[in-house]
């Protein structure tokens, strides 16, 4: 048995396979990404706490003697075990290595792959059908996000994807839809562009905000950030059915019919929800990067075809 193996056995460290499972679950809970296992990294202690490691197990270190340089290198045994577990996951294509992630995000991190994402869902007994609603990233989805956000903003933009009429649902189209959702809500910092609402579920798995298409899917709207808005569920519904639209200066215009609603509608008790939440002339919250602002061509189409701009509906 090797020196490292003897230490693992003597200190009763957790089996590597168990650490691999813990890493997949931890990656999932951290939106699919964790940093390398360096000193003073919170993630190192977080996983150690899951295994209830004692101080001796956490502080144990390996010594390697570099004779030519006449020095001793020390490395924590627990860090080494984490690295070996992550390296094994990478060999199985369940995570991407920090060197690969660096090329994609310019950060040295471990990231779930689609295969690793599926395995984490199995471990947590979460239905695979929930993938599209979860904020957890995968390496493949991150590639889509990068392409969507890095593509130069076109002056003349066609928000329609006529190929959607004939193209079957494929793995790539599913990845693009998830990439679209992630790219849009991240661009708006997980806030509703109309009201600023930003809230996560108690288990931190689901953001309330949704990625809305300006030109809807049913009209073959593209999965591009320029055809997207980050909206809470209420504003998403109100936008989709035409209760409000955007002007080209990104201010809100409310359908005039709001002023002639029956007294029994648009209320919660005595509170007029619709009139108080939809305000004319308020500028929406825009992303920090102008490159991903909603495109005027998509906005104008929505105003013409969805928005109810007169009292008659």
Verify that 64 and 208 share a domain, yes or no.
no
pLDDT reading at 69 higher than 70? no
Confidence bin at 313 (pLDDT 50/70/90): very low
3-state secondary structure 100-136: HHHHHHCCCEEEECHHHHHHHHHHHCCCHHHHHHCCC
Q: Which domain holds residue 59?
A: 3-94
Instruction: Point out the least confidently predicted range of 71-75, 137-141, 301-305.
Output: 71-75
Verify that 159 and 243 share a domain, yes or no.
yes
Verify that 205 and 299 share a domain, yes or no.
yes
Verify that 155 and 87 share a domain, yes or no.
no
| Strand ranges, E, within the chain | 33-35, 61-66, 71-76, 95-96, 109-112, 210-213, 228-231, 244-246, 252-254, 267-268, 271-272
pLDDT reading at 33 higher than 60? yes
**Residue 220 falls inside a structural domain:** yes
Verify that 78 and 157 share a domain, yes or no.
no
Q: What is the pLDDT of residue 151?
A: 94
How many alpha carbons fall within 13 Å on the CB side of residue 98? Answer: 11
**Residue 121 falls inside a structural domain:** no
Element (H, E) at 28: helix 16-29
Q: Would the pTM count as exceeding 0.85?
A: yes
Residues 232-257: tens digit of each pLDDT:
999 999 999 999 999 999 999 999 99
Verify that 181 and 63 share a domain, yes or no.
no
Residues 122-135: tens digit of each pLDDT:
999 999 989 888 98
3-state secondary structure 175-194: HHHHHHHHHHHHHCCCCCCC
Residues 72-114: tens digit of each pLDDT:
677 889 999 999 999 999 999 999 999 999 999 999 999 999 9
What whole-number distance in Å separates Cα of residue 228 and Cα of residue 223? 8
pLDDT reading at 284 higher than 80? yes
Confidence bin at 312 (pLDDT 50/70/90): very low
Residues written for the chain: 313
**Residue 166 falls inside a structural domain:** yes
Q: Cα separations (Å) of 124 from 21, 24, 26, 35? A: 10, 10, 11, 22
Confidence bin at 19 (pLDDT 50/70/90): very high
Verify that 84 and 171 share a domain, yes or no.
no
Residues 34-61: tens digit of each pLDDT:
998 877 788 999 999 999 999 999 999 8
**Residue 113 falls inside a structural domain:** no
Residues contacting residue 126 through CB under 8 Å, at least 6 positions apart: none
Verify that 281 and 155 share a domain, yes or no.
yes
Burial class (CB in 10 A: 0-12, 13-18, 19+), 10: exposed
Domain count, the chain: 2
Verify that 82 and 220 share a domain, yes or no.
no
pLDDT reading at 8 higher than 50? yes
Q: Does residue 107 contact residue 38 with C-beta atoms inside 8 Å?
A: no
């Amino acid at each position: 048995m090797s020196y490292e193996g003897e230490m693992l056995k003597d200190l009763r460290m957790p089996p590597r396979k168990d650490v691999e499972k813990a890493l997949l679950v931890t990656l999932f809970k951290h939106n699919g990404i964790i940093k390398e296992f360096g000193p003073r990294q919170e993630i190192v202690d977080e996983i150690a706490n899951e295994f209830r490691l004692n101080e001796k197990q956490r502080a144990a270190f390996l010594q390697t003697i570099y004779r030519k340089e006449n020095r001793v290198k020390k490395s924590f045994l627990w860090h080494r075990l984490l690295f070996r577990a992550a390296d094994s996951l990478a060999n199985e294509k369940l995570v991407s290595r920090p060197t690969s992630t660096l090329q994609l995000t310019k950060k040295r991190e471990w990231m779930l792959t689609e295969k690793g994402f599926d395995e984490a869902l199995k471990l947590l007994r979460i239905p695979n059908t929930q993938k599209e609603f979860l904020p957890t990233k995968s390496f493949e989805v991150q590639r889509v996000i990068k392409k969507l956000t890095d593509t130069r903003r076109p002056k003349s933009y066609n928000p329609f994807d006529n190929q959607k009429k004939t193209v079957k649902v494929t793995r790539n189209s599913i990845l693009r839809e998830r990439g679209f959702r992630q790219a849009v809500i991240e661009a708006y910092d997980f806030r509703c562009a109309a009201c600023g609402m930003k809230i996560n579920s108690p288990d931190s798995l689901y953001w309330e905000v949704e990625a809305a298409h300006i030109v809807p899917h049913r009209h073959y709207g593209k999965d591009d950030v320029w055809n997207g808005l980050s909206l809470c569920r209420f504003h998403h519904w109100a936008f989709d059915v035409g209760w409000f639209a955007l002007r080209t200066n990104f201010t809100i215009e409310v359908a005039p019919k709001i002023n002639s609603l029956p007294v029994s509608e648009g209320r919660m008790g005595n509170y007029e929800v619709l009139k108080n939440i939809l305000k004319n002339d308020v500028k929406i919250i825009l992303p920090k990067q102008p490159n991903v602002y909603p495109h005027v061509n998509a906005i104008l189409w929505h105003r013409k075809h969805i928005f109810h701009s007169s009292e008659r509906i």
